[in-house]
A and B are shown apart, each in its own frame.
Chain A
Amino acid sequence: MIKEDFFIDYSRCIGCEACVQACGECDTHRGVSMIHLETIERRDSVQTAPQICMHCEDPICAQVCPADAIKKTPDGVVQSSLKPRCIGCSNCVMSCPFGVPKYQIDIDQMMKCDMCYDRTSVDKKPMCATVCPSGALTFTTMQEIQRTRQGVPVNEWKFGAEVVHTKVYVMVPPEVARVDIGLIQIQTTAAALPSDPYDVALMLEN
């Protein structure tokens, strides 16, 4: 059984891609990384965010799979698709609220992060959380994370009306109990957007 938990702290991420590069090193993925490192909006900020599989308690990717190719282990890790079953339909790709599964055209199969099950099932840490130089990705005990961090871990998300619980936690400010993903109107006017906190020119004007 996996004894520790996975915590993502986006505020710590420096966008170095050590996670991406280390993930790709796994012999089973043969140079292909299962992590996505998102650059949020480089023009405005250097903010980046690593996205591993969040390992939902009730994974929608598995629910929508017509071939029943996505299995969850008893300790809650949602696996990559099973090669003999996956039909490459990409239902999982489209349904995941975190955008995690990716259809690999060259092998006609969906592959995704399985929290390094080969490592975590034998008491090792996942590769990305081992190498991450900023601690944005951390694999440790709940007790240790509460002792060492100012943020608090949450694993409840709300996408529109849908509430999702995940095995992986994200660190948020103490007043936040759940991550609410609201809808943003396309073509929002500039005036409706928050002011730009990272514009160096604005800083110099003050």
Chain B
Amino acid sequence: MAKLSTDIPDLVEAFGPTLSRVPAGGWDDTREDDKLVKTHCCFCGQQCGIQLRVRSNKIVGFEPWEDFPFNRGKLCPKGIKRYMQDEHPDRLKSPLERVDGLGFVPVGWDAALDCVVSEIKRIQEKYGKDSFAVLTGASMTNEKAYLMGKFARVALQTANIDYNGRLCMVSAGTASKKVFGIDRSGNPWSDIVAADVILVAGANIAECAPITTDYIWRARDRGAKLIVIDPRMTPIARNADLFIPVRPGGDIGVFNGMLHIMIKQGWIDQEYIAKNTIGFEEVARTVEKYTPEYAAKIAGVPASMIVRAAELFGPAKTSFVMHARGIEHHSKGVENCIAMMSLALASGRLGREGCGYAMITGQGNGQGAREQGGKCDQLPGNRKIDDPEARKYIAGVWDVPEESIPGKGLSAIPLVEAIHAGKIKGLISICFNPVVSLPDANFTREALGKLEFYTNIDFFLSETAQHADIVLPGSLMEEDEGTTTNVEGRVIRHRKVVSPPQGAWEDWKILCELARRLGKGDKFNYAGPREIFDELRVASKGSVSDYYGMTWDRIEENNGLFWPCPTSDHPGTPRLYEDGKFGHPDGKAHFIPVEWRPSVEMPDEDFPVILTTGRVVSQFLSGTQTRRIGALIDQIAEPFCEMHPQLATKLGVVDDDYVKVESRRGHVVVHAKVVKTIRPDTVFVPYHWPHDRSANNMTIRALDPQSEIPEFKICAVRVMKTERPTDPIAELEVQAGGIR
């Protein structure tokens, strides 16, 4: 069915989000902790080390872990408060069955699993294997990501599996593979500190990767120059030596313009280019026309800024180039990344201390999850699913006939479109909240309504889980164990801190039990995640992202190991490309020319303002976890529409007014936040909130043709002053989508 079984306010009353404000057992400075467990944050790709305090199998607080080298005890507000989702009143502790008009009722595990398996069988028999799809996520361990990929290909034999990294790292990954031949940040974070110039594009580091701030500030205190490219003056841009307030979608103007000047001024490393790369001449020809004036027109900034950027970056001795979703969430996201990579490559400043390139991972295991088989086009070890050798090898590891492994399936957005078109009839999802996180949210909601059967594994009833027929209560990161791979490519160990509450299961157990009931138990016969990791090691053996030489014990002893790590005595590879050798078969890096082109939906007379979306520091992604933590909602309670005073004056809007922000696809009503730190042609709405407060009501379902990432960072809207809405959704608590 997958239509809502009852009204949203009723579902919210029963399942939250409600706010947790007090640790389990209350504030208490008289009792000793039973233990302090060294593990990692469950949220972003920084994967900071943290110690969790445990009393009576309940997590009651945190303690910084100062010896972990990446973050040295530092944390952001999300990490500090993450434990407040443990012992949470909204926690799902029983499988739930949808009952029309009533919402959900608890049901036993046996009945729930039987129902899921019989629906999978019914749908696949009636409509074919591929009619049952899997949506998985990148906030899970490598072990679970691997298991999801295998579950889809072996237990369900469906081609249609994709993951929410499709909204995150795919543009960067695709570009990195094309240019460098390897999909990973090239350097450990310690190289940032040794750089003389740091170039940051489309990365709100202070809010989305706060720990990285200290690395940049340490470099600046050494005398490094900082260049920040962003339509908004973010907290790190305030202190940049050069801030370029680029027009959304205009990044290629800045990059190609900089390269144009660098070539003219001789600020490129001819010897490095000749020795280690191919294709430079064509790129040089392409950027020939990107004079500062031409580039400035595309970028929407004064030409002098582009000249200054080239002057700072070009002649530097060492440099670090980093980007994130700001340049990647575009219908030309891959090309944006490629243009930026060309700067690093032409400078010859890669693979050395203080010389590097990084993409800033968004999700906790954004790096690892895309390597282990959650992507529609990849088998474990970053292997292409249509590569006969790769298929043969993985078929051997899985002990299945090669021809039983499906081919390339649909990526996340086409998959939801196939649901909408009635081609996909059944869905199982985990670690993914598409109703909040996909573009064009009204379309996503409509699509879910067309499913014949939908089951969702989660620990809270997310806005997407509200649509499920069967909900299976899974586990939080701290209730299971395994590994993740952080932003640097460092594989780290997550400890099981407490057991899942009575009635909830570890996710891997749920999947293995489903596989068993589907008749594939012999392929999913694991005693625990350690055995899954041991199989994953073998599956990745010989691949680009080789984990074969790693064990959980080695990972712990070394505070993490960087891939590739092919043998048990290999120290891991913190820095790639040290010898000028790249990942392509010819060993070279490949320059690729890119031309700027307009975004899919540019502003016009009817929708004259550019909307760009993003995150705030106290919330994480679709908010399933962070909108349940009181202190984080107190910090930033509601989404808002950031606009420049010039635009506000034109619209007759003053700070804190209610405004309706509307695109061709949908709208939100939020408060106006009038600030001089944003371009006057652009408004910004953060996307963590649901329903009528969801920025993705407005965003466009336009994809990059190569990475199939949605164009979250630009669509056309109109903004108008309005009254406070008084409908039932508006009356909800702010964390549930209400407005005050």
Contacts and interface: CB of A to CB of B under 8 A. Distances in A.
Given A12-B217, A134-B217, A200-B679, A18 B80 contact: yes
B206 A201 contact: no
B302 A134 contact: no
B239 to A, nearest CB: 6
B686 interface: no
B677 A204 contact: no
**Most-contacted residue by chain B among A14, A47, A203 (CB, 10 A):** A14
Given A25-B80, A196-B676, A134 B221 contact: no
A24 B674 contact: no
A18 B211 CA distance: 11
Interface stretch (A26-34, A77-85, A102-110, A172-180): A26-34
Contacts of B221: 148-150
Nearest to A127: B64
A90 interface: no
Contact of B233 (A25, A125, A198): A198
Contacts of B66: 125, 130
B28 A27 contact: yes
Nearest to B62: A25
Contact of B218 (A21, A28, A135, A200): A135
Contacts of B673: 42
Contact of A18 (B210, B217, B238, B676): B210
A26 to B, nearest CB: 8
A201 B640 CA distance: 20
Given A46-B234, A150-B223, A16 B206 contact: yes
B617 A17 contact: yes
Given A131-B75, A134-B206, A30 B27 contact: yes
B644 A201 contact: yes
B80 A131 contact: yes
Contacts of A45: 233, 238, 676-677
Contacts of A141: none
Contacts of B304: 206
Contacts of A201: 644-646, 676, 679-680
B542 interface: no
Contacts of A206: 302, 304
Interface in B72-90: 73-77, 79-81
Contact of B243 (A17, A28, A44, A203): A203
Contacts of B36: none
Given A17-B635, A149-B221, A206-B304, A43 B239 contact: no
**Most-contacted residue by chain B among A48, A132, A206 (CB, 10 A):** A132
B93 to A, nearest CB: 25
Contact of B676 (A22, A24, A44, A130): A44
Contacts of A31: 21-22, 27, 631
29 contacts: A15-B206, A16-B76, A16-B207, A18-B75, A20-B77, A21-B635, A22-B75, A24-B631, A31-B21, A31-B631, A44-B676, A45-B238, A46-B237, A46-B238, A125-B66, A125-B73, A133-B74, A133-B210, A133-B211, A134-B217, A149-B221, A150-B221, A150-B223, A200-B233, A201-B646, A204-B302, A204-B679, A204-B680, A206-B302
